Structure 1
Amino acid sequence: MPSRDSVHALPVPEEDDLDPDIRKYFDICREKLGLLPNVLRSYSFRPERLRRFIDSYNEIMLSDGALTKLEREMIAVVVSSCNRCYYCLVAHGQQVRALSGDPELGEMIALNYRVADLDDRTMAMLDYAWALTEAPNDIDAEDREVLMDLGFDANAIWEIVETAAFFNYTNRMAHGLEMMPNSAYHRMNRSDDA
């Protein structure tokens, strides 16, 4: 297992050895986020894949769509909880805390979303993401009908599936590489005034 200070179990290129566009993106991340997420350093192992990962992540998680950014982050955390992905639980749990302004909600979603005081619509969305992760073979039209009855249209259902699928992929990358989250995530957005 890598140490807490490592990025993952394989060697990670030195930043000075990366292409200028990647170094510039890393600097932007540090400026906007206050840190460089280890997932980006991890993907720098394969720079072309890093570029595609950034594009996919930004489109799925940050673009305007049928789901809010908080809903997408909650899906990321629920999928990561089902998969027990340490990296994504820590990193995206922090985002739930930040976007919701509720540190307790961030912990509930990470540990057991079913104990959170969520409306029926949000609970159904998270139930669907969990089911898609735990037993994808069992998903059928009835599951989608539940979502539609609660006001999710085709675009929203697509985004739920796409977000869940993306995090099932990233969870497996994190597990396979023993990716470690930045320790700073643990301290961020922990108090109501954060």
Structure 2
Amino acid sequence: MKSRFPLCPLAELSGLPDDVAASILKIQEKSGFVPNVFLMLARRPAEFRAFFDYHDAIMYRSESSLTKGEREMVITTISADNHCLYCVVSHGAILRVYEKNPIVADQVAVNYRHADITPRQRAILDFAVKVNKSAWEIADSDFESLHHYGLDDEDAWDIAAITALFGLSNRMATVGKLEPNLEFYILGRTPRD
């Protein structure tokens, strides 16, 4: 399978705006490879910047009580719900790393309701899936379910924002036939020494 839209070759980063090229090189240095989503979005620098600015604002918001693992659980779950292979594989890998659990991503991607996760995490994912499938049905009772597990309305906002951003990402990756990097398939599957 080949991506529908051309990926920016690493050899051509010098033709990109400096800030976009620097972002790509930074992720390469950090992870040892460049996730294909960076190379797909680089073809439109303004959209690249907008996507990753919003990504960073919601994924690294320090005031949230959501853990990094819970954020990745939301992404993996709704990506599975949206049938996005790229996002399930890539964010499932990140989830395995954050949770230090080689099976959790597969469980939540197939059926989070039967995954070995906490009741709090299940409530987070219930809310995310409802936002993803039928946001117009969100009611006070959905917020009360989150409150029961110590999550406040700002946490609900975070869950909804993550769901919304990755709904966009899921659709663009799917329409673009974006292939997961091979590195993602094995990342976090075996414990590190």
In structure 2, what is the equivalent of residue 88 of structure 1? 87
- Report the Cα offset of residue 149 of structure 1: 2.1
- Report the Cα offset of residue 127 of structure 1: 0.8
In 1, distance between residues paired with 2:145 and 2:187? 35
In 1, distance between residues paired with 2:181 and 2:116? 29
In 2, distance between residues paired with 1:54 and 1:18? 16
> TM-score, structure 2 length as denominator?
0.92
- Report the Cα offset of residue 17 of structure 1: 1.7
Q: 2:7 aligns with which of 12, 15, 38?
A: 12
In 1, distance between residues paired with 2:159 and 2:5? 32
In 2, distance between residues paired with 1:92 and 1:176? 18
C-alpha RMSD over aligned residues:
1.5
- Report the Cα offset of residue 38 of structure 1: 0.7
1:41 aligns with 2:39: yes
In structure 2, what is the equivalent of residue 116 of structure 1? 115
- Would you identify which runs of 4 or more consecutive aligned residues in structure 1 move more than 6 Å? none
Three-state SS of the structure 1 residue aligned to 2:124 is helix
In structure 1, what is the equivalent of residue 142 of structure 2? 143
In 1, distance between residues paired with 2:61 and 2:78? 20
Aligned pairs for 1:45-124 within 5 A: 45-66=43-64, 67-124=66-123
What is the identity, as a one-letter code, of the residue corresponding to 1:165? A
In 2, distance between residues paired with 1:114 and 1:55? 32
What is the identity, as a one-letter code, of the residue corresponding to 1:27? L
What is the identity, as a one-letter code, of the residue corresponding to 1:38? N
In 2, distance between residues paired with 1:193 and 1:25? 27
1:162 aligns with 2:157: no
What is the identity, as a one-letter code, of the residue corresponding to 2:40? S
In 2, distance between residues paired with 1:99 and 1:140? 31
In 1, distance between residues paired with 2:40 and 2:72? 21
1:31 aligns with 2:26: no
In 2, distance between residues paired with 1:138 and 1:186? 35
What is the identity, as a one-letter code, of the residue corresponding to 1:52? A
> TM-score, structure 1 length as denominator?
0.91
Three-state SS of the structure 2 residue aligned to 1:103 is coil
In 1, distance between residues paired with 2:123 and 2:188? 26
What are the ranges of 5 or more consecutive residues in structure 2 without an aligned counterpart? none
- Report the Cα offset of residue 20 of structure 1: 2.1
Would you say the 8 A contact 2:87–2:170 is kept in 1?
yes
What are the ranges of 5 or more consecutive residues in structure 1 without an aligned counterpart? none
- Report the Cα offset of residue 137 of structure 1: 2.4
1:21 aligns with 2:16: no
- Report the Cα offset of residue 15 of structure 1: 2.2
In 1, distance between residues paired with 2:186 and 2:57? 27
In structure 2, what is the equivalent of residue 191 of structure 1? 190
Three-state SS of the structure 2 residue aligned to 1:145 is helix
CA distances 1:24-81 after superposition (whole Å, capped 9, x unpaired): 2211111101111111111011011111111111111123132111111100011101
In 2, distance between residues paired with 1:22 and 1:151? 38
In 2, distance between residues paired with 1:186 and 1:109? 16
